Amino acid sequence: MSAPRAAESLQPCGAAMLGNSAPGGLVSVLRKEVAVMRIPVWIPLLFGLPGVREAPLPFPVVTPTELRARLERMGDTPVVVNFWATWCRPCIEELPLFERLAQRSRGGGLQVWLVNVDFPQEWRRRVVPFVRRRGLRASVLLLRPSPGERWLDTLHREWSGAIPATLFWRASLGVAELYEGELDSARLWEYVERLSAKP
The tens digit of pLDDT for each residue in 2-17 reads: 444 444 444 443 445 5
- Asked whether the CA dihedral 106, 90, 118, 162 is positive or negative, the reply is positive
Predicted confidence at residue 100, as pLDDT, reads 95
Averaged in consecutive runs of 10 residues, what is the pLDDT profile of the chain (199 residues)? 44 48 38 42 46 78 94 93 96 96 86 96 95 94 85 86 94 88 94 84
Sequence-distant (≥ 6) Cβ neighbours of residue 110 within 8 angstroms: 77, 78, 79, 80, 101, 192, 195, 196
Which pLDDT score, from 0 to 100, does residue 179 have?
A: 95
Phi, psi of 97 (to 5 degrees): -60, -45
Encode pLDDT of 63-90 as tens digits: 999 999 999 999 899 999 999 999 999 9
Q: How many CB atoms lie within 10 A of CB 139?
A: 15
Domains of the chain from N-terminus onward: 58-196 (3.40.30.10)
CA distance 149 to 63: 9
Is the Cβ–Cβ distance between 113 and 78 less than 8 Å?
A: no
CB-based contacts of 154, cutoff 8 Å, min separation 6: 64, 65, 68
pLDDT of residue 175: 80
Q: What integer pLDDT is reported at residue 55 of this predicted model?
A: 77
Q: Each residue of 3-26: b (16+ CB within 10 Å) or e?
A: ebeeeeeebeeebbebeeebeeee
The widest CA-to-CA distance across the chain, in whole angstroms, is 70
pTM for this model (two decimals): 0.73
pLDDT value of residue 115 = 97
Rounded Cα gap, residues 123 and 126, in angstroms: 6
